[in-house]
Chain A
């Protein structure tokens, strides 16, 4: 007898199928509890390097980073060159930004009376000094806070010490910052030489390199921590830009320390580690501002704590972030 089912009905049934390979039992071997064979006891051979599943949370492999210093410089160069390739003004853009912001602030806040009661020098120097230093901090945090994500195309294809990337961002921003600081000093000199302002740097001006280092480390520490956490929880990326912006208002970038008094706002300002740094800079170069060793000491503690947290979180995910990003 012949099978009378129509071919079309059968052809449809062909589609109604499920996927299954023939030579694999449903429960594959891997589903059993894992008894990984213990690695053979202490091989007598000394290997140059061993890759294991374990992270060393507290170490920074300075030696390895040093051996990649050329890469650090080349990445920095790339970032700077790429920024002004095919622009007419080129690096001038670096200094144009803080100048425009300063002018905006002067325009907006000029109507607010008594704001700068404690400030006897040109207001432009007040804003510019704050903005330039703050700008370095905020660029460091914001740029490093997304570096794992931004550099994934490279990081997922080749190995080099991952810390090179945030370090190159810090150095790139340092170049930018130096140009902006140069602009500040140009205007500073202009006021002294041509306007007869009575300003002179005092001994505290020598703190400048320390202050810059503190800003860089604050930015690096916070950025590393945020960047590491962002590889798993991307919510943080949204918060960072906003948070950093908000922090600026809780610092002495816009309002002199004296003008806010000792209320809640003053307390918030003191918590912001950038306050002490900016004030120390202003005091050192212009003799006005709120130099406080206790604030600077607090800042130093912030640097240590943030760097510590940054390194821990960074090391915890450095070797596996490629899987989760």
Chain B
């Protein structure tokens, strides 16, 4: 017998953007007519790839396009990707909440999904009543819940409040109870979306080890979506990387996570003044070269580093003035500098790839800063406000105290003398 427990073939899902109601009667009628005539849905043809950063006039997008993969029994399968890559849509299709536009999913087992903790919890009912309610909603039989009731209560660690209405619970208690129910589900396939983001560290660890148990000892299959890369690396054996609704990579979890990080770092997304292919040249990416380990979009406060800007020239450009701006979290301009003002002057480029380097340091409070660059040569060649934020960390020497209270984080020296 095959080990495959779930198989996805050519799975696609189309969504309509914007207001559902506007013009939907006419679209419905159009659809219906083409269905009668045996043609395919006219709106499927015009849908475009899902990318939340582009704006198109088209109101249909493919949230998922042509997804193929299969998962074996007992595997913990991770799904990673940026916001809007289609992770949640995929889970919704797998858990039968909504149907695909195309393709099919073959399943060989009972599916239980946990897309949210405490689905259906009623605030007026007690913890005890809600365990039964939530368990039944997640697909458990009454005897099954009764049999595991004590286990559930013990796992949640809130015995004392079990007969209190859940509206009096703290949010942590609420989550604990809800996850405890879900952790004792017994489907062959368990789908979990981002639920570990809540709850304290101790409870998160408890949940992770519980899920490991579920797969390794009970031989059940787990789908796991999370932005918590540690959890994904810890739990999953294989993973799927989604990008703009398409499968970017499937493989061992280590390799996929590496690809995901790489992808995130080189994020070329951002706000520009021109379409890149219509300019004489454009900025491709930026990175920092400094002390911070393993992350080239962050630096320590006050540390000297190189800001490296990759630039592709598509034509020769003379008298280029490089403009560089850093904006704080509240929108204040922290730094604005031009190569024509400082050391460097004006540049000249020929078609090809270049790297601009700006040696600098940022004596500012820790936080996320926005990077904006522009190249001026009699007019703007390209301006680019990067989506990726520059993260300033607390100074490496630990000096600076509570730096978040002020904009600047400058090394100060206090002394006292009597006069």
Picked from B94, B138, B272, B340, the residue with its CB within 8 Å of the CB of A158 is B138
Picked from B105, B165, B333, the residue with its CB within 8 Å of the CB of A51 is B105
Picked from A16, A30, A158, the residue with its CB within 8 Å of the CB of B120 is A158
User: Once the chains bind, are B107 and A53 in contact (CB under 8 Å)?
Assistant: no
Q: What is the 8 Å Cβ interface bit string for chain B, positions 279-295, against chain A (1 contact, 0 not)?
A: 00010100000000000
| Nearest neighbor of B143 in chain A, beta-carbon distance | A70
User: Once the chains bind, are A20 and B54 in contact (CB under 8 Å)?
Assistant: yes
Tell whether B148 is near chain A: CB-to-CB under 8 Å.
Answer: no
Tell whether B391 is near chain A: CB-to-CB under 8 Å.
Answer: no
Taken together as a complex, chains A and B put the C-alpha atoms of A73 and B50 apart, in Å, by: 42
Which residues of B are found within 8 Å of A30, using beta-carbon distances? 47-50, 61-62, 65
Tell whether A196 is near chain B: CB-to-CB under 8 Å.
Answer: no
Which residues of B are found within 8 Å of A89, using beta-carbon distances? none
Taken together as a complex, chains A and B put the C-alpha atoms of A226 and B131 apart, in Å, by: 32
Q: What is the 8 Å Cβ interface bit string for chain A, positions 22-47, against chain B (1 contact, 0 not)?
A: 11111111110110110110010101
User: Once the chains bind, are B96 and A31 in contact (CB under 8 Å)?
Assistant: no
Interface residues of A in 293-325 (CB under 8 A from B): 319-320, 322-324
User: Once the chains bind, are A78 and B137 in contact (CB under 8 Å)?
Assistant: no
Taken together as a complex, chains A and B put the C-alpha atoms of A33 and B16 apart, in Å, by: 17
Interface residues of B in 373-401 (CB under 8 A from A): 374, 376, 380, 383, 385
User: Once the chains bind, are A36 and B66 in contact (CB under 8 Å)?
Assistant: yes
Q: Which of A5, A39, A78, A158 has the most CB of B within 10 A?
A: A158
Picked from B119, B137, B275, B325, the residue with its CB within 8 Å of the CB of A14 is B325
Taken together as a complex, chains A and B put the C-alpha atoms of A181 and B140 apart, in Å, by: 34
The number of residues on chain A lying at the interface, defined by a beta carbon within 8 Å of a beta carbon of chain B, is 68
Taken together as a complex, chains A and B put the C-alpha atoms of A234 and B272 apart, in Å, by: 40
The number of residues on chain B lying at the interface, defined by a beta carbon within 8 Å of a beta carbon of chain A, is 98
Q: Identify the stretch in B38-46, B149-157, B196-204, B360-368 within 8 Å (CB) of chain A at 4 or more residues.
A: B38-46
Nearest CB of chain A from residue B36's CB, rounded to whole Å: 15
Tell whether A86 is near chain B: CB-to-CB under 8 Å.
Answer: yes
Q: What is the 8 Å Cβ interface bit string for chain B, positions 349-373, against chain A (1 contact, 0 not)?
A: 0000000000000000000000010
| Nearest neighbor of A324 in chain B, beta-carbon distance | B20
The prevalent SS among residues of A at the interface is: loop
Which residues of A are found within 8 Å of B336, using beta-carbon distances? 7, 11
Q: Identify the stretch in B122-130, B208-216, B251-259, B408-416 within 8 Å (CB) of chain A at 4 or more residues.
A: B122-130
User: Once the chains bind, are A17 and B272 in contact (CB under 8 Å)?
Assistant: yes
User: Once the chains bind, are A10 and B104 in contact (CB under 8 Å)?
Assistant: no
Q: What is the 8 Å Cβ interface bit string for chain B, positions 82-126, against chain A (1 contact, 0 not)?
A: 000000000011111111111111111101010110011010110
User: Once the chains bind, are A322 and B92 in contact (CB under 8 Å)?
Assistant: yes
Q: Identify the stretch in B7-15, B72-80, B169-177, B233-241 within 8 Å (CB) of chain A at 4 or more residues.
A: B7-15
Interface residues of B in 237-275 (CB under 8 A from A): 244, 268-275
Taken together as a complex, chains A and B put the C-alpha atoms of A40 and B23 apart, in Å, by: 37
13 A-B pairs within 8 Å (CB atoms) are namely: A10-B374, A10-B380, A13-B383, A17-B385, A21-B270, A30-B48, A31-B49, A37-B66, A48-B109, A71-B136, A75-B133, A86-B124, A159-B95
Closest 7 A-B residue pairs measured CB to CB? A28-B49, A319-B99, A22-B268, A47-B106, A71-B136, A30-B49, A159-B96
